[in-house]
């Protein structure tokens, strides 16, 4: 059964126009996704908790409604791992995986975002103990869902796999598990596009990290982002730079380790990062919608340009 948020969507009605064009995601659904995934009902979505399972159900329901294919039973790829920090074995964690066949190429673009977060912890000064993880990473998961819906209606040239990763917060375990149990040869993966924290930025900036390692991707993204708002910046991928290197900071890391090109879309850390205050009402709706549409345009440009190459 598809779950729906409880009334909070109206908060954004004054800020967002719901007009949809041929190259725009469904804005209303985008906000619906994040308002539910970041709600108190899911209690921070920590791996193997009830809230995490509810998030799985929501994502599966959306994939089902889009008519996505999958290579795993009921869209679920189960895996187990050892959490060294907790000295605990986690069994039956789940990635949620959907698939759209390409019209001109069998090569695969993997589009991903992790849906797990930190769960419930010690209450802060305001008495809030839930780490809702609105930006980290209900935002990336919601953007992934919006992109999956778009490409289910507008088939891409390359095949596209849409993945909601579990257990990112426990060492990128979901991404590692996918690559260990991938339904095709890893050589078939053309590119990973990973989204983690794309819902807010006071400077109206979004980073595309990864082009330092694969420079041929940068002019493609520059074409797609020309004149865009938010501004697309490049960086956070050079080991010798003064900037923090994000190359292994999220689920694109295991792809990089396997020699698979990646683009990581994200923002620089904000004061609510990994705090109970990372809540739905902190999301900047105009930025979030514009960012997701910018990522869509980048994917469309990559889908066309990499085919020609």
> What CATH number is attached to the domain comprising 239?
3.40.630.10
Mean pLDDT, the chain, as a whole number?
93
Inside any domain, residue 178:
yes
Could you read off the pLDDT of 199-255 as tens digits, one per residue?
999 999 999 999 999 999 999 999 999 999 999 999 999 998 889 999 999 999 999
Could you read off the pLDDT of 165-175 as tens digits, one per residue?
999 999 999 99
Q: Is the pLDDT of residue 154 over 80?
A: yes
Inside any domain, residue 153:
yes
| Distance separating alpha carbons of residues 36 and 58, to the nearest angstrom | 9
Nearest in space to 166 (alpha carbons), one of 275, 85, 76? 76
Inside any domain, residue 276:
yes
Inside any domain, residue 215:
yes
pLDDT number for residue 308: 61
Q: Is the pLDDT of residue 38 over 90?
A: yes
Task: Judge whether 132 and 27 are in contact, CB under 8 Å.
Answer: no
Residue 118 to residues 62, 135, 247, 288: CA-CA distances in angstroms? 23, 13, 22, 22
pLDDT number for residue 85: 81
Global pTM? 0.92
Structure tokens at 165: 């990763």
Inside any domain, residue 256:
yes
Report the interhelical angle of 140-153 vs 50-66 (nearest 10°). Answer: 20
Inside any domain, residue 94:
yes
| Distance separating alpha carbons of residues 14 and 17, to the nearest angstrom | 8
Structure tokens at 253: 């890391």
Counting the structural domains of the chain, the total is 1
What percent of the chain clears pLDDT 70, i.e. is strictly above it? 92
Q: With cut-offs at 50, 70 and 90, classify the pLDDT of residue 15.
A: very low
Inside any domain, residue 12:
no
Q: For residue 294, what are the domain limits? A: 27-308
């Amino acid at each position: 059964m598809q779950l729906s948020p409880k009334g909070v969507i109206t908060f954004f009605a004054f800020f967002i126009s719901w007009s949809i064009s041929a190259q725009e995601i469904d804005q209303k659904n985008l906000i619906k996704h994040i308002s539910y995934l970041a709600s108190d009902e899911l209690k921070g979505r920590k791996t193997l908790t009830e809230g995490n399972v509810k998030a799985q159900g929501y994502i599966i329901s959306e994939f089902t409604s889009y008519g996505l294919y999958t290579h795993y039973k009921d869209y679920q790829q189960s895996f187990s791992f050892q959490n060294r920090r907790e000295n605990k074995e986690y069994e039956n964690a789940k990635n949620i995986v959907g698939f759209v066949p390409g019209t001109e190429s069998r090569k695969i673009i993997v589009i991903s975002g992790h849906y797990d977060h930190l769960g419930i912890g010690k209450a802060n000064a305001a008495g809030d103990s839930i780490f809702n993880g609105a930006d980290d990473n209900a935002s990336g998961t919601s953007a992934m869902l919006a992109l999956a819906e778009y490409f289910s209606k507008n088939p891409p040239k390359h095949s596209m796999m849409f993945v909601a990763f579990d257990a990112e917060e426990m060492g990128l375990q979901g991404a590692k598990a996918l690559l260990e149990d991938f339904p095709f040869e890893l050589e078939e993966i053309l590119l990973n596009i990973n989204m983690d924290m794309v819902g807010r930025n006071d400077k109206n900036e979004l980073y595309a990290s990864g082009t330092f390692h694969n420079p041929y991707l940068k002019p493609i993204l520059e074409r797609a982002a020309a004149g865009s708002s938010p501004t697309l910046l490049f960086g956070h991928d050079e080991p010798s730079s003064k900037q923090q290197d994000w190359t292994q900071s999220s689920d694109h890391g295991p792809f990089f380790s396997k020699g698979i090109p990646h683009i990581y879309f994200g923002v620089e850390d904000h004061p609510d990062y990994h705090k109970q205050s990372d809540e739905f009402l902190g999301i900047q709706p105009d930025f979030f919608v514009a960012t997701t549409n910018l990522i869509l345009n980048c994917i469309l440009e990559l889908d066309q340009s990499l085919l020609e190459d």
